[in-house]
A = this chain, B = another copy of it.
Amino acid sequence: MEDIIAVFKERPKLKDPIFVEGLPGVGNVGKLAAEHLVDQLKAVKFVEMFSKYFPPQVLVTDAGTIRLVSNELFYVMRPLMKNDLVIMTGDYQGLTPEGQYALSDRTLQIIKELGVNRIYTLGGYGLGKMIEKPRVLGAASDLELVDEMKTFGVTFSKGEPGSGIVGASGLLLGLGNLYGMRSVCLMGETSGYFVDPKGAQAVLEVLAKILGVTIDFSDLEQKAQQIDAITSKLKEIEAPAVPKREDLGYIG
């Protein structure tokens, strides 16, 4: 068996596409954001990636059918814009460091062939404490992009994240350099204790401006209210043991 199997349902011709990645991680911020983007832009699934670096697991749908855990690529054609989009999300990140590298590299090969030159990876920045108004922190492949991102309200803060960016959101940037791609990681602040739609919304609000898309956030806001309802109840009961900040200060 190949280490990674990429099944193409379609071979779309894309116009100078921009790549957006959001996989499970801290607060699930990246995955929530990418999935919401797929929904809002009615993006079309065209690649499924299966791999021995994922858990040996199938998921069971409500109808009783199964599907093997995967990462997926979607495309959005935008005839009136300069750039089409490719969006990646999925069930898992690679389980091992070697798997992480192999999966990011394979992804870069695929999007290179599609003509991608610009990457945005989405993730959460774990604070280890509740946050009312999450900032969006950034990191980028070059200083010009750092400056460009600042104009969109992205915060670049010396020493944050101190431990760097771990996982696909980091590797796609780091390995992307070797493919000559320019890239940005957008990290929404999050407690890291819960799935965090508020962090996802913060990230998407910035990304929407960058990509020139309009996004309805009512779904995410509703999810955020549900989470808020739960956490405000939990606040009444003092948490006996919370993860330490240093365990959370990275990006999934």
- Number of chain copies forming the complex: 4
Q: Is A232 among interface residues, defined by CB-CB distance under 8 A?
A: no
1/0 contact trace for A134-175 toward B, CB 8 Å?
000011111100100000000010111100111110110111
Q: Judging by beta carbons under 8 Å apart, are B58 and A174 in contact? A: yes
> Which listed segment binds B: A12-20, A33-41, A47-55?
A47-55
Specify which chain B residues have a CB less than 8 angstroms from the CB of A55 in the assembled complex.
97, 166
Give per-residue flags for A89-106: 1 if the beta carbon is below 8 A from chain B beta carbons, else 0: 000001101101110111
* A contact residues, total (Cβ < 8 Å): 58
Chain A interfacial positions (CB closer than 8 Å to B): 1, 5, 7, 50-60, 62-69, 94-95, 97-98, 100-102, 104-106, 138-143, 146, 156, 158-161, 164-168, 170-171, 173-175, 177-178, 183, 185
B140 touches A106 (CB 8 A): no
Given contacts A1-B106, A68-B174, A173-B66, contact A57 B164 (CB under 8 A): yes
CB distance B165 to A7 under 8 Å? no
Chain B nearest CB, measured from A86 CB (Å): 20
- With a 10 A CB-CB cut-off, give which of A51, A53, A56, A59 has the most chain B CB atoms: A56
